[in-house]
């Protein structure tokens, strides 16, 4: 199935002629979105604000969605909810002092895909289980013990 690719670029050119303190709120939802190079998010909800200040544009964002992942016990595919809040400052080029600063692009468009991807990935739990009573898999034959039993008498659950 083809991944749903959407652009998450925003025109911020009109912020450049505004006074410090000028802000604008944005809300966008995607039933499914593929963020290059590797993140597919379902039910992504984005509420974010750009505020102009003397150094640049401050991005404040709240994101929530669901990401497909494997249960660490039984290895079944599940949807993991992720929520994040972050702030990033896009510096005006003349104020940027470090080469790693985020800089307001000259074309007036900021691509939000990279920060959205980075912060969503940081929120994926290391160990997630499909349910609190997940039985895992048999360490001998790999049988998912939630779906059936096997002939091994000393079944042990793989650690999460």
pLDDT truncated to tens, each residue of the chain (160 aa)?
556 566 789 999 899 899 999 999 999 999 999 998 889 999 999 999 999 999 899 999 999 999 999 999 999 999 999 999 999 999 988 766 677 678 888 898 999 999 999 999 999 888 889 999 998 888 888 888 888 888 875 545 555 5
Number of domains in the chain: 2
The predicted pLDDT at position 85 comes to 98
Three-state SS at 45: strand
Task: Give Cα 71 distance to the centre of its chain.
Answer: 18
Which class for 24: exposed (0-12), middle (13-18), buried (19 or more C-beta within 10 A)?
A: middle
Residue 116 DSSP class: H
Query: What local confidence, expressed as pLDDT, does residue 3 receive?
Result: 61
pTM here? 0.81
Do 20 and 85 lie in one domain? The reply is yes
Give me the pLDDT at residue 155, please: 45
Establish whether the linkage from the previous residue to 125 is cis, with ω within 30° of 0: no
Burial of 102 (0-12, 13-18, 19+ CB in 10 A): middle
Residue 1 lies in a domain: no
Which segments of 27-150 does DSSP mark as H helices, in order? Answer: 113-122
Instruction: For residues 76 and 151, state if they share a domain.
Output: no
Q: Are 76 and 141 part of one and the same domain?
A: no
One domain, residues 56 and 20: yes
63 and 112 belong to one structural domain:
yes
CA 113 to mean position of chain CA atoms:
9
The overall longest dimension of the chain from CA atoms, in Å, is 73
Q: Do 23 and 75 belong to one domain?
A: yes
- According to the model, what pLDDT value does residue 6 have? 65
Q: What is the pLDDT of residue 100?
A: 64
- What pLDDT, on the 0 to 100 scale, is given for residue 126? 86
Q: Are residues 153 and 115 in the same domain?
A: no
Same domain for 89 and 146?
A: no
Angle ∠(46,67,88) on CA atoms, nearest 5: 40
Check whether residue 108 and residue 145 sit in a common domain. Answer: no
Q: Same domain for 150 and 78?
A: no
* In-domain check, residue 141: yes
Residue 127 lies in a domain: no
Strands (E), 3-144: 9-11, 23-35, 39-52, 56-70, 77-91, 102-103, 109-111
Asked whether residue 105 falls in the same domain as residue 141, the answer is: no
Domain that holds residue 48: 9-122
Q: Do 154 and 108 reside in the same domain of the chain?
A: no
H helical segments located in 43-125: 113-122
């Amino acid at each position: 199935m083809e991944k749903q690719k959407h652009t998450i670029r925003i025109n911020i050119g009109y912020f450049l002629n505004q006074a410090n303190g000028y802000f604008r709120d944005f809300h966008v939802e995607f039933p499914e979105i593929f963020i290059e190079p590797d993140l597919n998010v379902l039910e992504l909800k984005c509420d974010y604000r750009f505020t102009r200040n003397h150094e640049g544009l401050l991005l404040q964002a709240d994101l929530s969605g669901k990401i497909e992942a494997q249960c660490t016990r039984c290895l079944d595919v599940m949807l993991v909810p992720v929520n994040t809040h972050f702030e990033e400052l896009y510096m005006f080029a003349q104020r940027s002092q470090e080469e790693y600063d985020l800089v307001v692009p000259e074309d007036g468009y900021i691509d939000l895909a990279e920060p959205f991807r980075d912060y969503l990935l940081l929120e994926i739990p290391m160990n997630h289980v499909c349910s609190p009573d997940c039985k895992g898999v048999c360490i001998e034959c790999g049988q998912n013990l939630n779906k059936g039993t096997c002939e091994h008498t000393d079944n042990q659950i793989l650690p999460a």
